[in-house]
Amino acid sequence: MSVANCSAFLEQLDQWMEGERSPAAVAHLRSCKACGNLIADLDSIRDTAPSLAATDPEPSERVWSALRAQLQDEGLIHAAHPGVSDILKRWLRGTFLVLPRPVLAGAYLAALIAVGFVLSGSNGLRNDSNLWMSRMQRSTQPLSASLETEEGAISSMADTNPVVTASLRKSLAAIDNDIALCEKSVREEPQNEFVRDYLYEAYQQKADLIAQVTEGDEGQ
The site for other proteins (CB under 8 A) is made up of 160-164, 166-168, 170-171, 174-175, 177-178, 181-182, 185, 189, 192, 194-195, 198, 202, 205, 209, 212, 216
CB closer to other proteins, 21 vs 170: 170
d(CA 60, CA 37): 24
CB closer to other proteins, 26 vs 174: 174
Q: Which amino acid is at 97?
A: L
CB closer to other proteins, 72 vs 177: 177
Closest distance between other proteins and the C-beta of residue 100, in Å? Answer: 16
Query: Are the C-beta atoms of 112 and 146 separated by less than 8 Å?
Result: yes
What spatial distance separates the first Cα and last Cα of the chain, rounded to whole Å? 51
DSSP state of 70: H
Query: Are the C-beta atoms of 120 and 139 separated by less than 8 Å?
Result: yes
CB closer to other proteins, 76 vs 209: 209
Closest distance between other proteins and the C-beta of residue 47, in Å? Answer: 13
CB closer to other proteins, 99 vs 186: 186
Closest distance between other proteins and the C-beta of residue 145, in Å? Answer: 22
d(CA 179, CA 137): 13
Closest distance between other proteins and the C-beta of residue 36, in Å? Answer: 15
The per-residue b/e assignment along 70-106, b for 16 or more CB within 10 angstroms, e otherwise, is bbeebebbeeeeebbbebbbebbeebbebbbbbbbbb
Query: Are the C-beta atoms of 183 and 202 separated by less than 8 Å?
Result: no
Closest distance between other proteins and the C-beta of residue 201, in Å? Answer: 9
CB closer to other proteins, 5 vs 212: 212
d(CA 207, CA 99): 16
Closest distance between other proteins and the C-beta of residue 162, in Å? Answer: 7
